[in-house]
Structure 1
């Protein structure tokens, strides 16, 4: 447990948005942030909640030069009874520890992490919106702070948590997206950092995403970095397909992010009786299924959108429409099921939700 969390409250509290639908994702931050330092001598120390604002940092800090940085994305929700709850927070905490291990960064004790999270959201709980589909997005992150130009692990780090209120990803109902399968750039390779949530993975995806956006596509669907033939994930989501009655999602092979929403989707689908396969799926198999009508539905899963239906796939200039460009019944059921549990409107038989109030 944390010995002490010092709290410095803002003197000039910001105005909480009354119409959450007008708030752009990740642009409006809550009043406060959590900070905690680490070094090999003192371990984790100086836990504090301070007004949200700039962090002083030396330009020689190793994070700028060698990219020792990791982060997470999670959410807190307002329940119908007015309370607040988190969606599977310990899974995010465990994943952040795995990401840190891959890039030689220290893990934080799970209960210590959760204590910091609870305290920050408790301080800013008025920022948790109550509108349908809205939530408080939570961004824990950590970066190297040692000053020096030399390629090795830093000895000191700063752990931070930011929060921001966000509206429903689909204020007018979920809309199918258009995806381009990328056949030039690769995002990650086995043995690399693909399974970790670190900034370098996202930097590597930006060029292809920009090209796709210029052609009118919402996202890029990545192929594996070795053979360039197996489906991996979408730029900001994991991917699932319903092919000839079965749900298929790419196996976690070390270059695919182990999504919390992906895991939860599979558990929910299996509880409903669907056959779910985690395996290699080639782009040729996917295109063949699209051509012969066996590709019944496709959707992405992730923290931001929860479930995002795919209405169109493009590969090497060839277009395929999925579910007539609409939303399939399994996609809709999955979205309703997950968001219902998260919001507290559907019974949480899986015990996924963690209440803010102990």
Structure 2
């Protein structure tokens, strides 16, 4: 089915927020607290493929009690942002990579793969009606949440033959109101996020559900995030509950864990490319918690940071565990992580040249 065969139907929300109501929300939207007036809904069936694309009022989704997603957790999602540039135009950052990652997740969860052109078209269709929801204040954005779920009603362990793709959007304020502060991280020694051959490389809700209990444990120990180790040996770094990890050596080498149970990060990939552009060496390999602990103690590892769509880049200040701790000293000069963060944000908001062709305009 060619892209032009997807004929979009647009139904406007009669209860849409007024300009005044929207402006009040955009003053302090937080993250994930408010949602725009419309959403995207596209159906898929084994017989008909992708069909009936529409933009419709944001609201409850009708779902059968026997829908496969409720019983077998067959669902995936993505996360990306729309940025307003100084001239008022609206852009997204590497959306084709989000589309590709969603396709990889779909393959692992036995869901249909949404073509990249449909994915980006859905973003543009929603922005066409809800573009006024993209805020203009520094470091604000419109967070875009595409998701796919099995809606066929049946009880039986097999891939669903009817699926929905939806897209909702939520205005997001600056993640850090006073700038990124170093995180305190709890090292989970009881729980793992995913195992070899499991769902770790797919962006599916089950991975996040598995992180909630250890995340509570992190809060109880005064930490903001939890760090998982590999499920086989319990010694190699995987990722945080929702972010990738990078270590920086004193000779400005960036090291990040490599594993088939880690979700590939688009922010991570972009940060590593910017580091290479600056002449830094980059290594993606297995990294043990002992290497980090010993390197921090000796001064070989001088920085650690987390990165992801929501917070972009956040420095890590300490690792806590039941048996030991890792403390990162304050660097003498500006952190490498903060330099990369500033450069990435400048590209995303149109303040710096997009030399890698990462930006896609959504309102044109």
Pick the TM interval, shorter chain.
over 0.9
Give the Å deviation of 1:254: 1.3
Q: 1:191 aligns with which of 190, 197, 214?
A: 197
Q: What is the rounded CA distance, in whole Å, between the counterparts of 1:17 and 1:63 in structure 2?
A: 36
| Aligned residue among 66, 70, 73 for 1:60 | 66
* Matched position secondary structure for 1:4: coil
* Cα distance between partner residues in 2 of 1:102 and 1:142: 13
1:312 Cα offset (Å): 1.3
Q: Within the alignment, does 1:104 sit opposite 2:107 as a pair?
A: no
Aligned to 1:261: 267
Deviation beyond 6 Å, 4+ runs, structure 1: none
Cα shift at 1:81? 0.8
State whether structure 2 residue 6 is matched by structure 1 residue 3: yes
Relative to structure 1, the CA distance from residue 96 to residue 239 in structure 2 (aligned partners, 3 Å threshold; closer, same or farther) is same
Is 1:154 the equivalent of 2:157? no
Aligned CA RMSD, in angstroms, stands at: 1.4
Q: Distance in 2 between matches of 1:326 and 1:22?
A: 34
| Cα displacement (A) at 1:243 | 2.3
* 1:114-129 correspondence to structure 2 within 5 Å: 114-129=120-135
Aligned to 1:227: 233
Q: Distance in 2 between matches of 1:181 and 1:237?
A: 14
Equivalent-residue separation in structure 2 for 1:54 and 1:355 (angstroms): 29
Name 1:301's counterpart in structure 2.
307
Q: Shift of residue 328 of structure 1?
A: 5.0
Contact 2:123 2:362 in 1 (8 A): no
Q: What SS class does the counterpart of residue 330 from structure 2 fall into?
A: helix
Asked if the contact 2:225–2:240 (Cα under 8 Å) also holds between the matched residues in 1, the reply is yes
> For 1:27 and 1:54, how far apart are their aligned partners in 2?
16
CA contact (8 A) 2:38 2:58 kept: yes
CA 1:328–1:237 in 2, change beyond 3 Å: closer, same or farther?
Answer: farther
Give the Cα separation in 1 of the matches to 2:118 and 2:304.
38
Kept in 2, the 8 Å contact 1:311–1:325? The answer is no
State the TM-score, normalized to the length of structure 2: 0.95
2:180 is matched with which residue? 174
For structure 2, the residue ranges without an aligned partner over 5 or more in a row are none
Write the distance in 1 (CA, Å) between the matches of 2:260 and 2:27: 37
Q: Take 2:309 and 2:6, find their aligned partners in 1: how far apart are those partners?
A: 31
- Give the distance between the partners of 2:32 and 2:300, measured in 1 at CA: 38
1:297 and 1:327 map into 2 onto residues whose CA distance is 11
Output the CA distance in 2 between the equivalents of 1:320 and 1:233.
16
1:151 counterpart SS class: coil
How big is the shift at 1:207?
Answer: 0.8
Q: Conserved in 2, the CA contact under 8 Å of 1:340 and 1:346? A: yes
Residue deviations 1:192-234 (CA, integer Å, cap 9, x gap): 1100000011111111111011111010111001111100111
**2:85 aligned residue:** 79
- Partner Cα distance (1:158, 1:223) in 2: 34
Structure 2 equivalent of residue 242 of structure 1 = 248
Alignment gaps of 5+ in structure 1: none
Counterpart Cα distance in 2 of 1:320 and 1:266: 24
Q: TM-score under structure 1 normalisation?
A: 0.97
